[in-house]
Amino acid sequence: MIHNYDSEDKALLAVDCIIFGFDQEELKILLVKRDFEPEKGMWSLMGGFLKRSENLDEAAERILLHLTGINNVYLEQLHSYSKIDRDPVERTVSVAYFALINIEEHNKELIKQYSAQWFNISNAPGLIFDHEMMVKKAISRLRYRTSTVPIGFELLPQKFTMRQLQKMYEAILGEKLDKRNFINKINSLDILRKLDEKDMESSKKGSFLYTFDEQKYKRKAADGFSFKL
Location of each CATH 1.10.10.10 domain in the chain: 156-222
Domain with CATH 3.90.79.10 in the chain: 5-148
- Give the integer Cα–Cα distance in Å for 174 and 113: 32
The DSSP 8-state label assigned to residue 39 in this structure reads S
CA 206 to each of CA 10, 139, 152, 201: distance values in angstroms, whole numbers, following the listed order: 60, 33, 24, 7
pLDDT at 13: 97
3-state secondary structure of 103: helix
The CATH number of the structural domain formed by 5-148 is 3.90.79.10
The closest alpha carbon to 106, from 81, 73, 143, belongs to 73
In 3-state terms, what secondary structure has residue 19? Answer: strand
What's the confidence (pLDDT) of residue 132? 97
Low-confidence ranges of the chain (pLDDT < 70): 1-3
pLDDT tens for 127-186 read 999 999 999 999 999 999 887 888 888 899 999 999 999 999 999 999 999 999 999 999
- Residues with Cβ < 8 Å from 146, sequence gap 6 or more? 152, 169, 172, 173
* Burial of 19 per CB tally in 10 Å (0-12, 13-18, 19+): buried
Q: Could you tell me which CATH class the domain 156-222 is placed in?
A: mainly alpha
